[in-house]
Structure 1
Amino acid sequence: MISDEQAKAAQEIAKFGQKGIDAASEAGGFFAKTFGNAIEHFSQAIADKAAAYRIVNRVKIALKTQERLAKLGVTDFKAIDFRNGVPLLEGISDEPDESLQDVWAAYLANALNPGNPTVTANRQLINIIRQLEPDDLKILSGLSSQELNQSRSEALIKKAVDFLVDEEALNQCLSRLTALGLFAFENGPDRLVLEKSQERPCRVTIETALGEFHAMPLLVVLKNAIEEPEAG
């Protein structure tokens, strides 16, 4: 009798079909070129589970990444070292959600693009992306890099209506993003008040009934890393 995991794996392979098998072969070459020894180590680590659905996740993200790199005209990739390559592959393999697969693909394309030297594969960002929920993307997409990078003397105030979510959902997402270090939360009387003349970037605040969630520099780093790559 096969396990639930094996049954799910078989179903995923069946859905994928011959085109998927061809794509898997192509993606395997892409990952071998990109990750080197890390992909071999990772493949051996999960071989005993025969988790075909993880292979499907990897293939989907590989194809999405290749599509982005092709649009940029990138054929030579930056290297991803073994230390960061293994957790990156783990994160990619475990993500079945389409919207978060797009986030991984954008991040990977930026990290591989020699024309984008500011974005690299690193464990901090990998761990953050792995812990994102699909609902969190409504908050992240509702904050543009331009808004976060713009220097201003007073905070740009945003509320639930700006993200097309109700306040309860907003509080849940912001609490999770705060735990990841992307926001700082304040609701007490002794809040830090900066001089209005002191202009600086990352001055964005989301107000809810719970209090104020202030954007942190790590949010800027993440947004820049997962921004959809564009040809220069």
Structure 2
Amino acid sequence: MQLRSACFQVIKATLPIALACSVTGELSSTTPQQLADRYVDRVYAQSTPVARERARRSYLIWFFEGFVSPGDFMPGDHDLERDAFQDGQAFWWTRPSLRPWVMQNYGYVEVRLAGLWTVGYEASSLEVGDGSRRRCWLWGLGDAQIDPSLAMSRSPWGVPVAVAGYLSPPGRYGHLGSYDCQVYATKIARDGNQPLAAPDPRPPGMPVWR
């Protein structure tokens, strides 16, 4: 545990040698699927086929969680989840040219969107400005470029933004699964071409539910 904790600190503070901290040590010549197969072969060699497949799917889920959270800490003591999470983080930092491929491999599509961004307690809603009224959970991906002025211009009615990043397949995302889609942003900028949202008709002090 001490070694793995130290590894995490190296990944976060000394990114160029993150590969040395990966569980497999083979990130330079493999894919997430191959990493999952090798992990299962090593750790679940004596398990049933059903258990092995369950472990493989779990590894791929937690690999992606680490991949899109390259600077975060993985709590808990479940070895498979922690190992896969840290492998995903190491993959992010050591193979930047493959980031688009990994996102696409998990069903995300590279997009450019404009809309209204509303940020609040357990909320980060992008109402896409294409007439569909889709509400996507918007989150910065890794070292995303986010216009610093946006931090000073939050509004309960939304701030017009332009977003570059990756759009998820339709589903349930974000806090309590209350969003139709998810956008992992590589860039968020103020969009002066988008109209401001109409004032909220509710009395002052009423909660804003988006």
Higher-strand-fraction structure: 2
TM-score (ref. length: structure 1):
0.21
Higher-helix-fraction structure: 1
Higher relative contact order (CA 8 A, sep 6+): 1
